Structure 1
């Protein structure tokens, strides 16, 4: 059990990332507004990465959830 622990933590971290990417349209709009209002270039860059991630990572969410249920087991 102790040797498995780091692996479980890793899967849980991935799962929280996957949950984060499950954004509604409203959230996507809020991100876009934040992008328009952001003052620094770094902030805009970070928000663009998040928005791009929201669009590209969705197919992988099922896989991460499956791994997480295995970790919970």
Structure 2
């Protein structure tokens, strides 16, 4: 199983895992054709240019919050459906 497959399996696990790191998000975002834009003091943005979607993710520690995982899942599902 490749690294991408492992990260996708972890990302889509239910209930939503609370150990998704920014590194996981960077790898998955680039896999789905999104860009990571660093801005502000403590935030990063996942940008999907073709749909115009921007998801800001605040950086508090190494892991991201459950609400942001949900938003990213919706975006990645939308990209897979295109």
TM above 0.5: no
Per the normalisation by structure 2, the TM-score is 0.26
Higher helix residue share:
1
Structure whose alpha-carbon radius of gyration is higher: 1
Query: Scaled by the length of structure 1, what TM-score is found?
Result: 0.29
